[in-house]
Amino acid sequence: MRAQDSPDPDLALVTRGLAKRYGEKVALAGLDLEVPAGSFYGVVGPNGAGKTTALSMATGMLRPDAGRVWLHGVDVWADPLAAKSRVGVLADGVRTFDRLTGAQLITYAGLLHGLDRAVVDERTADLLRVMDLEDAGRKLVVDYSAGMTKKVTLAAAMVHAPDVLVLDEPFEAVDPVSAANIRDILHDYVGRGGTVIVSSHVMDLVQRMCTHVAVISDGVLRAAGTLEEVRAGRDLEERFVDLVGGRHTGEGLAWL
């Protein structure tokens, strides 16, 4: 793709030749991916497969060694401010401003995106309510449980009403009731035209939520398409194991 070319702006995310290496370790080897707008897109793979690296580069948090990324036709690295205004990111393992209260954290995110203060206040109240954090809104985030922290950082990612949400392990440490509520919120968001890209290694969750899926292993894209295309008539977990390999069969612990 030539420098002056850009992909279809109706595609929520496009990557071309996205690559990253850490010393001798290849974290991602030339990822080509297209995420349709309005899809609920799952990115799955074993631990260390390259999922987080891919999403970090796709959202402008980590500079790639090679390749390009577009969000709705906007080049993430050529025009980062325009690109980042269209995406909300829930990163896994990234520290947050935990000496703010939950309400302050969401408010800060909204003001950082240039929203009017009155709009931010209204949206913060709405987000605390739907995330079941109304009582915790005045508490410092440092005192939150892991699940509460996940929910308030998700709220901060949503406050500016982005076109695309990129969520790395959004349900990890979240209780079942809150997880169900979050799924409902995300499905409503997709139903109104938004796009959700979610990284997970829980196949059952992806199979129940997602319309599309990409399988990454050892930094390589093994399969991508609609859920039905990737499953190929089988359970997603079975198909995943076939694609990535590594299952030990006929072996056990004789002493156990």
CATH number of the domain within which 67 lies: 3.40.50.300
Q: Please tell me the pTM assigned to this model.
A: 0.91
Domain count, the chain: 1
Q: Report yes or no on 22 lying in a domain.
A: yes
Q: Report yes or no on 140 lying in a domain.
A: no
CB 244 within 8 A of CB 50: no
Q: Report yes or no on 33 lying in a domain.
A: yes
Range of the domain at 215: 1-86+197-242
Each residue's pLDDT expressed in tens, for the chain with a length of 256 residues? 444 466 787 899 999 999 999 999 999 999 999 999 999 999 999 888 899 999 999 999 999 999 999 999 999 999 999 999 999 999 887 788 999 999 999 999 999 999 999 999 999 999 999 999 999 999 999 999 988 999 999 999 999 999 999 999 898 888 888 888 889 999 999 999 999 999 988 888 899 999 999 999 999 999 999 999 999 999 999 999 999 876 766 667 888 7
CB 201 within 8 A of CB 179: no
Q: Report yes or no on 204 lying in a domain.
A: yes
Report the interhelical angle of 146-158 vs 176-191 (nearest 10°).
10
Q: Report yes or no on 159 lying in a domain.
A: no
Q: Report yes or no on 191 lying in a domain.
A: no
Q: Report yes or no on 157 lying in a domain.
A: no
Q: What DSSP designation does 140 have?
A: B
Q: Report yes or no on 51 lying in a domain.
A: yes
Helix (H) or strand (E) holding 242: helix 236-244
